[in-house]
Structure 1
Amino acid sequence: MLIDLARSAFSLAGHVSISLSSLSFMFQRRRSTTRALMQSLTVTFEGQSEIITPDIGYAPLRLCSITRELVNGQPVELSNEGHEDSNKPCSWNVIFDIPVPGWLPTTSTYGDHCAVEAGTCYALYATATFIYLEDGSSSIFSSFCSPFGYRTHTINAPRCPITLARFVGVPSSPSSSSISVFPMALFIVDAQSGQDDSETGTTGIPPEILKKIQVVASIPNAVTLDETTVPLILRLQGNELDGSEQERLRITDFTVDVEQIETYRSTTSLDCVARFMVPPRTQQPPSLPLRNAHSVQTLYEVGLLMNSYSSKSTSTRSFSLFDPSNSGKYIISGDGRVFMHNSPEGDATIRPPSENWYVLEANVPLAPEPHQLDWAGPRSRRISENSPLFSVCHMMHIALRCVYEQPDGGVVSERLHFSLPMQHVRVSIPRINPSAGDRTIVGATELPKCAPYSQSLPAYSQLFHSNGERKIDYSTPLPLYEPPPSASSSSSFTLDHSDDDQK
């Protein structure tokens, strides 16, 4: 099932905790009641991207900013009446849910490795606006007199970092390859010819002969970051070659390389703005600074740091995912005349075109750990993704060495080269049910010691209606009411109000 990330959304739910405690004075025997009138409580989910490179410098971008007002209608009065002498403050938890756009890039660090905090990050910000009320005052009266008799206070909660990770589900049907969890994808290749480095002459294989070679390649449609081997299948066919050309043309070897290409951009094009739906320029720096900007931003604003290339807006880092000891070269056994179709007895036979494919199979190894370091840090494998300021793509480059014996006795060689797009992904870890030996009994509650799992967030539309109301399954009946076991143990307090002493 394909999901349009640009039009999908997921739910980020939680709660904002509000605490209220009494102030104690030296000459007071009893603490006074604290009352507050909360006029506004907002929670904001905000994402940002920042890149820092030696050639294009510093570039910020606000990815999204979604704010929800949790106090709807009249102000809410908070009071710790009856709990003034408690050592712990009274607390209220206000729940919220925010639809998170599905296109947002994952949390990651990239760019100049000296600026370790640059990259893509997300966080929640909560702000409460309230006024303190005198003991015994009415909340209705205070709501009218607050502009004249009371001072408005604003409190910002500490920044709450949010990590956004994207996982791909493992296909339920088994793959045809024994070393890949994803099915194989077919590519009909349009190979391009190129002069072989080992040949110094200007003559090469006639183009009309190379055009008669058909190549079909197969690689998995996705590769996980944990996999260190990628299966590759090449199918070659030359049905349009005549008997003489089939005998003179040989395929001696082929080379493979897997390349990771990272692109850094200092500006976003109009196409990127329309595709990713980022906030408009009026909500972007410097018009509206980022809430948690990198410290190097100030140095660029005051002119202490300058871009090395003011006209350059793109920087690229590309490298091979092979170990340095891996040449990526595979030798074809035999004499290399793969287009000659002879029977086991040596007599030439005419076979159906579907059987005239010569198949080459290889397991391409990838380096398990980064082995080089440059200006952007270790050359580590990343998932394939595309974001406004930073993109990562992967390509598998393949080159077939063709040798042709000319009628005059000369031998020329060329390489047919082509590239296949790859998708590197991160897969979710299936939930593991702990056995009985891995559980600990605490009173009447059974808690697992460890249960590693990665649960995908459900779509926002599955949990909430378009107007923000929670979806309720009314087909499940509510439990019958049962009175408490004893009247002496009953106590009255608000559902959203909790106090440890009462518990």
Structure 2
Amino acid sequence: MSASVAVDIVPTANSLDLYGQPNTHFAFSLSGNVQISIASPFSLFERRKAVRILLQSVQLTFDGQSEVITNALGYSSLRLCSITRELVSVPMELSNSGQEDDDEPARWNVVFDLPIPGWLPASQSFAPGDFGGSSQYCLHAVVKYILIDDYKHSNWSLSSIYSPFRSRERSVDAYKTIKVRRFAEPPTDAPVPPAPMLDYLLRAPAQPVEPQPDSAIPVPPHILSKIQILASVPQRTDICDNMVPFHIRLRTQDLEGAECKRLEVTKMTIDIVQEERCRQVARVKDAAAFDCKFPVAAPELQPPNRALLNPHNMAEMYQLGLCPNPSTDAMRMVASSSLLPFVDSGVHVFTGDTHIFIEDADKDAGKWYTMETLVPIAHHLGSSEPGSDWEGSHVVRPSTTGPLYDVSHALKLTISVQYTMPDTGAVASAALTFTLPLTMARMPPPLPPRDLFPALYNMMCLPDGAFPPPPTSASVLPGGHGLPVYSQLFDASGNRKVDDMPLPRYAPAGSSPDHPDDHTVVVDSCLTNEKLQPRTVSASSST
């Protein structure tokens, strides 16, 4: 029996966590080791012999892929990235001598540290029924070696020198799925304040608005154009939250007092929508725009020039022509789902006196009519009918952008207004419809409090996704999680990198290096401040 050589990939963490918005200037570290195991073959007639191999190469590849499957679009795939590193610079001999009789094989760990681009979308699985879009990542290790025949050449001889060259090169590989998660911000042990609100100044359309079905008279456009609407939504919303805060303020501007008394707001409809878009490769301008913005893999690395490492089972069936081609020339599919619970219609009917602008007749007043509410969110959106085409993932997903698959969220607002015509007394009506963009994001789990017992703090196993935070948060991390990665200290040959910035000159305690007798130490700090500005959104109107 031949010797047993096995390989396994052991990453440091169960997932690769990215922080912030996708950015080509950011990179994150994926570290771990490639484990090589050697076991001697079992024999009934003689003692187990030690195994010697000449390790030629350990090649590790991080591969990302995106796929789309729908009845209307068929199957389409794209390689997002392919990062390959050679972990062994020169051949080396490995042997399990002294461990050949052990039940456990001899193991060697080859350490790796790969820089992963910060623009990659998070891992996404297909919707029920294997429809929709997905993004997956995996590590692929290929170990090449030569088995040295040490059974016949126990003593040194000239033939033992050429033994490795007479042996056939062998290879063994392994795969490991890597889950990529993206969080809106790094973890912290401090209380997280609510997300700031973004203000949108909404404007009514200047063209005539069609009346609602229960009225045959439209509201005059010059009346609607005098209505000012200021809506506020969170800068981001955690996908685990059950409510989304929403604020709206209304008033009129430069509208005569008599007109203000004839204008009223009867109801308001609020809905939160999740929109998923799937598209084919190189057939939609959105995909081309993504390629220009983010450096996807080169054309020679794309299928069918190079097959995906972990394609969907349907990929081969489409390539062999066993699945019918799409009957239409559709380039994209859009699935829209409401995130409101089934029992919530989203309609808010105003009761009492609905002439909310009556005080605007006083030119010195100009008060806002304010309404604040919490919009509920359902995390399970139901299921599609059997046999139907893709209708969405049926769960709340983070907002994301990719070359083949996008997820976006929006708050749709409809304001119903009525106006009493001065001549006839007839009631005219109109519905003003606005769409406000929302960002649904994943928030990291909190870190344990700093005031815990230090030993217990260091021993605690934090939830997945808590590491690694940026260097500014290293002080709150236990143990060595705040230390720099290996590649920052050593080069590819294992030599320590030389820091161009020299260490400060020695000075006794209580004095500065430049002025030993001066006990004043000046520390420079860099602060950043970002201000949110109100945004203007053009409005559309509907019946």
Tell me which interval the TM-score lies in, with the shorter structure as reference length.
0.7 to 0.9
1:300-322 alpha-carbon deviations (Å, 9 max, x no partner):
11212123235212011112111
Describe how 1:102-121 pairs up with structure 2 within 5 A.
102-111=118-127, 113-115=128-130, 119-121=134-136
* 1:155 match: 172
| Cα offset, 1:190, TM superposition | 2.7
Q: Does the 8 Å contact 1:190/1:418 carry over to 2?
A: no
- 3-state secondary structure, aligned to 1:272: helix
Q: Does the 8 Å contact 1:12/1:98 carry over to 2?
A: yes
Distance 1:340 1:141 in 2: 106
Closer, same or farther: CA 367–472 of 1 in aligned 2, 3 Å: farther
Distance 1:322 1:190 in 2: 26
* 2:66 match: 49
**Pair 1:418 & 2:441 matched:** no
Distance 1:218 1:211 in 2: 20
- 3-state secondary structure, aligned to 2:334: strand
* 1:496 match: none
| Cα offset, 1:137, TM superposition | 7.7
- Which of 69, 77, 84 is 2:100 aligned to? 84
- 3-state secondary structure, aligned to 1:288: coil
Distance 2:22 2:30 in 1: 19
* 2:346 match: 328
| Cα offset, 1:434, TM superposition | 12
Closer, same or farther: CA 453–36 of 1 in aligned 2, 3 Å: closer
Residue 42 of structure 1 aligns with an amino acid whose one-letter code is Q
Q: Does the 8 Å contact 2:78/2:303 carry over to 1?
A: yes
**Pair 1:367 & 2:378 matched:** yes
| Cα offset, 1:213, TM superposition | 0.9
**Pair 1:385 & 2:396 matched:** no
| Cα offset, 1:295, TM superposition | 1.5
Residue 400 of structure 1 aligns with an amino acid whose one-letter code is I
* 1:485 match: none
- 3-state secondary structure, aligned to 2:222: helix
- 3-state secondary structure, aligned to 1:109: coil
* 1:122 match: 137
| Cα offset, 1:13, TM superposition | 0.2
Distance 1:140 1:253 in 2: 96
**Pair 1:187 & 2:204 matched:** no
1:1-41 alpha-carbon deviations (Å, 9 max, x no partner):
9655222110000001111222344442x332211110100
Distance 1:426 1:327 in 2: 26
| Cα offset, 1:352, TM superposition | 5.4
Distance 2:140 2:280 in 1: 27
Residue 13 of structure 1 aligns with an amino acid whose one-letter code is S
Moved over 6 A (4+): 137-144, 170-174, 433-437, 469-475
1:79-101 alpha-carbon deviations (Å, 9 max, x no partner):
12233333322111110011111
- Which of 15, 27, 34 is 2:51 aligned to? 34
Q: Structure 2 regions of 5+ residues with no counterpart?
A: 1-18, 472-482, 504-543
* 2:541 match: none
| Cα offset, 1:270, TM superposition | 2.6
Q: Does the 8 Å contact 2:70/2:131 carry over to 1?
A: no
* 1:219 match: 233
- 3-state secondary structure, aligned to 2:359: coil
- Which of 287, 298, 302 is 2:316 aligned to? 298
- Which of 261, 266, 279 is 1:265 aligned to? 279
Q: Does the 8 Å contact 2:281/2:404 carry over to 1?
A: yes
- Which of 424, 444, 468 is 1:428 aligned to? 444
* 1:277 match: 295
* 2:412 match: 397
1:436-459 alpha-carbon deviations (Å, 9 max, x no partner):
99x99xxxxx965x7546313346
TM-score (norm 2): 0.75
Moved more, 10-19 or 324-333: 324-333
**Pair 1:358 & 2:369 matched:** yes
Distance 2:64 2:329 in 1: 27
- Which of 23, 36, 41 is 2:41 aligned to? 23
| Cα offset, 1:350, TM superposition | 4.6
1:350-377 alpha-carbon deviations (Å, 9 max, x no partner):
5354xx2111222212224323425436
Residue 197 of structure 2 aligns with an amino acid whose one-letter code is M
- 3-state secondary structure, aligned to 2:121: coil
- 3-state secondary structure, aligned to 1:97: strand
Distance 2:159 2:280 in 1: 51
Q: Does the 8 Å contact 1:42/1:68 carry over to 2?
A: yes
Describe how 1:163-202 pairs up with structure 2 within 5 A.
163-169=179-185, 175=193, 181-192=194-205, 194-201=209-216
Residue 168 of structure 2 aligns with an amino acid whose one-letter code is R
* 1:493 match: none
Residue 71 of structure 1 aligns with an amino acid whose one-letter code is V
- 3-state secondary structure, aligned to 2:180: coil
- 3-state secondary structure, aligned to 1:5: coil
Describe how 1:450-469 pairs up with structure 2 within 5 A.
452=463, 454-458=465-469, 463=485, 464-465=487-488
| Cα offset, 1:174, TM superposition | 6.5
Distance 2:314 2:231 in 1: 47
Q: Does the 8 Å contact 1:263/1:315 carry over to 2?
A: yes
Closer, same or farther: CA 471–3 of 1 in aligned 2, 3 Å: farther
Q: Does the 8 Å contact 2:235/2:438 carry over to 1?
A: yes
| Cα offset, 1:405, TM superposition | 0.7
Q: Does the 8 Å contact 1:432/1:453 carry over to 2?
A: no
Q: Does the 8 Å contact 1:257/1:328 carry over to 2?
A: yes
Distance 2:445 2:192 in 1: 17
Residue 231 of structure 2 aligns with an amino acid whose one-letter code is A
Q: Does the 8 Å contact 2:317/2:323 carry over to 1?
A: yes
- Percent identity over the alignment is 34
- 3-state secondary structure, aligned to 2:24: helix
Distance 1:330 1:119 in 2: 37
- 3-state secondary structure, aligned to 2:182: coil
- 3-state secondary structure, aligned to 1:78: strand
Aligned length: 452
- Which of 334, 339, 357 is 1:316 aligned to? 334
Describe how 1:4-23 pairs up with structure 2 within 5 A.
5-23=23-41
Residue 143 of structure 2 aligns with an amino acid whose one-letter code is A
